[in-house]
Amino acid sequence: MSKIKSLFKSCSPCNASKDTFRKLITLRSAKSYRRCLKHLREIGINPFKTVPHSRIIGCHFRKGVSVQALTRSPLIALVEKDMKIRAHGLPQKKASARFSSVPLLTPATSPALVEWNIRRIQAPHAWETTRGKSIKVAVLDTGIASHPDLRIAGGVNTIDGGSYADDNGHGTHVAGIVAAVSKGGKVIGTAPEVNLYAVKALNKDGEGFVSDIIEGIYWCIDNKMDVINMSFGVLGSDSSATLHTAIKKAAKRGIVVVASAGNSGKSSGKIDEPASFSETIAVAASTKSNKIATFSSRGAGIGITAPGENILSTWLDGSYKKLSGTSMASPHVAGGAALLLAGKPGVTPLSVKKKLKNRAAKLNGFGALAQGSGLLQLDRIFESK
């Protein structure tokens, strides 16, 4: 029996249980990856996740068993915990309304009739040039539910391979902020003509694992997405090098990655992963009165701010709801990035980030650790300077 095969047999059971924990193993080469899978099959171990593009294998290990020997194998590049992820929406209030009667938008292009948050970022001015047609935007979240105001072009479920339909509501709300089409005359998104894709990697509780997020990122790379919105954060203080590697690859492939900063408030001192990765555009949340929301995380790395308090958007069962969180701020920027890409084809992710930051408006009374470059403004994004 080979050494690595023996190592797996000594510390990895066949099935998950309360006495096991999840680890992600990154192999150094495609050959090593195939070899490792072969060994696992031979000893009856079924990985909970395999991501061929990044040579990642997810396995359950017995609690109390050291995996240090695995990390010393020349075939293995990295072994790390499959960290938990949670959506960045704030807990919903019991009295939250469904908003079944909202004034019609007639016409939908009129700034006076568009929801305050879309007007605040000057999206209607950008619509004079483009509404995002042909740009592919992936919402990596709890999925997207069928809704009259959402045109879903496709998607994937990286949790179990099933439906990408939303069973939580968070992803549907985020999707509406990006791309609601105002067919029902109630809400219109930042970029209503983009091609919208659902990447369901979070469950009905708005939670998931890094491994499902990573698989979703590689799906986005394979399917040539232009923008990915990530309105979630890694739980705990540990950093995921495996997640960072996936985001680096997405950025290298020309994908703009937008992420919410987190909802830990004024005393947080830092923003959450993946927003803290330099390859993303990290987004803080502002209020209708142009203040940074009290819940919005503060820290180095925030790139820009967008509305995130009491945002009306699409919800389950064809309804509408107001929610708050940096989760709601991030899709404004994802939509803004899509508009910029549609109006200026070929712009790199780094250039998109710089352009959006350069056009942002500073909010009085707040420093860069709270607002980054300021409030997203889309009225001049197509100017050459």
Judge whether 101 lies within some domain.
yes
Residues 187 and 129 in one domain: yes
Rounded to two decimals, the pTM is 0.92
Do 76 and 181 lie in one domain? The reply is no
| Marked catalytic residue, from 170, 226, 260, 324 | 170
Together in a domain, 39 and 99: no
Residues 50 and 180 in one domain: no
From 60, 82, 104, give the residue that closes a domain.
82
* pLDDT value of position 10: 65
Domain end marker among 62, 82, 102: 82
Tokens representing 217 are 């990122």
Domain identity same for 169 and 120: yes
Do both 55 and 97 map to the same domain? no
CATH at 54: 3.30.70
| Neighbouring residues of 190: CB distance < 8 A, sequence distance ≥ 6 | 118, 121, 123, 177, 178, 179, 331, 332, 334, 335, 336, 338, 339, 378
- CB-based contacts of 96: which residues, under 8 Å, 6+ apart? 321, 322, 323
- Residue 14, pLDDT score: 60
Instruction: Tell me whether residue 160 is one of the annotated catalytic residues.
Output: no
Q: Does residue 41 lie in a domain region?
A: yes
**Final residue of a structural domain among 30, 53, 82:** 82
Tokens standing for residue 190: 């930042």
User: What is the pLDDT at residue 39?
Assistant: 87
Alpha-carbon gap, residue 206 to 201, rounded angstroms:
9
For position 113, what pLDDT does the model report?
59
**Residue-wise pLDDT tens for the chain (385 aa)?**
466 777 677 666 666 777 788 999 999 999 999 989 998 888 888 899 999 989 999 998 887 777 777 888 888 999 999 999 999 977 765 433 333 333 333 334 444 459 999 999 999 999 999 999 999 999 999 999 999 999 999 999 999 999 999 999 999 999 999 999 998 778 999 999 999 999 999 999 999 999 999 999 999 999 999 999 999 999 988 899 999 999 999 999 999 999 999 999 998 889 999 999 999 999 999 999 999 999 999 999 999 999 999 999 999 999 999 999 999 999 999 999 999 999 999 999 999 999 999 999 999 999 999 999 999 999 999 987 6
- CA 378 to chain CA mean position, Å: 21
Does one domain contain both 20 and 131?
Answer: no
Active site (annotated) includes residue 147 = no
67 in Cβ contact with 4 (< 8 Å): no
Q: Is residue 255 part of a domain?
A: yes
**Residue 384, domain member (yes or no):** no
Residue among 12, 182, 240, 327 flagged as catalytic:
327
Residue 345 lies in a domain: yes
- From 85, 78, 86, select the one nearest 23 (Cα to Cα): 78
User: In this structure, is residue 178 part of a structural domain?
Assistant: yes
For residue 141, indicate whether it is catalytic.
Answer: yes
Q: Do 42 and 27 have their domain in common?
A: yes
Omega prior to 107 cis, within 30 of 0: yes
Task: Tell me, yes or no, whether 261 lies in a domain.
Answer: yes
Q: How many CA atoms lie within 13 A of 216 on its CB side?
A: 32
Q: What is the CATH number of the domain that holds 109?
A: 3.40.50.200
Number of domains in the chain: 2
Q: Which of 12, 82, 88, 141 is catalytic?
A: 141
Contacting residues for 160 by C-beta, under 8 A, at least 6 apart: none
Please indicate, yes or no, if residue 103 is contained in any of the structural domains: yes
Query: Which residue segment(s) compose the domain that 45 sits in?
Result: 3-82
Both 67 and 185 in a single domain? no
State the pLDDT at residue 148: 95
